[in-house]
Amino acid sequence: MRLKNKTVLVTGASKGIGATLAIGCAREGADVILNYNTDRDGAEQTASEIEKLGRKTLLIGADIAKVSEIDKMFQKARETFSSLDVLINNAGVTGWGSAFDTTEEKWDMVLDTNLKGPFFCSVRAAEWMREKRTKGTIVNVSTNCAALGVKNLVAYATSKAGLHGLTMQLAVEFGEDGIRVNTFAPGPTNVERNLRDDPNYREVWGSVVPLGRTADPEEMTGPAIFLASEESSFVTGQVFYADGGWSSSGSVPKEYMDLTAKKNR
């Protein structure tokens, strides 16, 4: 087990890739702190799966767009767990809309959640790791949309591109304490949100991915575990794409982008 007796905090762990990563960490022997914002039921389902694996878990509701709630989350986590080994910054929002449709409110909501939140979560995690002399790891979950321009996702893609820059900066800042910081960027993935936006999501996006298909959430567990574990002990400040080659081709289904933006306006 690559994370045996480790403690992992996963933000946005109530559904989708976050829930899958949390369960995957438990399968590798970790106890898991589950952050959620509004979906308590989803977080409880994730916790139930982790408990079936014989690992401890703790649910903490917090909006990571707000530093005050991040601080409370880490305070509560410290009351239950003596140390933290891994932080997975997964929570994020999409914020569909063209540049002309993006309001200040939407821009702030997306950037606060996707960039400010991971920064302050990372700092609080690193403080805890440094205090306990834990050579921990921070894993950021990004998107292939940060690799090139994608219509109707201006705030989202910008926030994730910022996350890539933050990864390098924090790797340098935290390196002297033995804390590693890396990012992986999933491509089109069959999570509930995407399938709800378009029942033909697999076919539409599979047609533009070089491997000819979309990913299942479970396929993101391998990259996360690799970066969280000692298997990547000399890797820090890096960003790589788990996207079936999408970022190499950059082809986008334009009709899907327009219809989904309109649906999520």
- The rounded distance, in Å, linking the Cα atoms of 56 and 39 is 20
Give the chain's length: 265
Q: Which of 36, 156, 201, 241 is catalytic?
A: 156
Q: What kind and span of H or E run contains 23?
A: helix 16-27
- The rounded distance, in Å, linking the Cα atoms of 265 and 27 is 38
- The rounded distance, in Å, linking the Cα atoms of 120 and 141 is 15
156 is catalytic: yes
- The rounded distance, in Å, linking the Cα atoms of 207 and 202 is 8
Contact criterion met (CB below 8 Å) for 167 and 238? yes
- In the three-class reduction of DSSP (H, G, I as helix; E, B as strand; rest coil), residue 147 is classed as coil
**Which residue numbers are catalytic?**
156
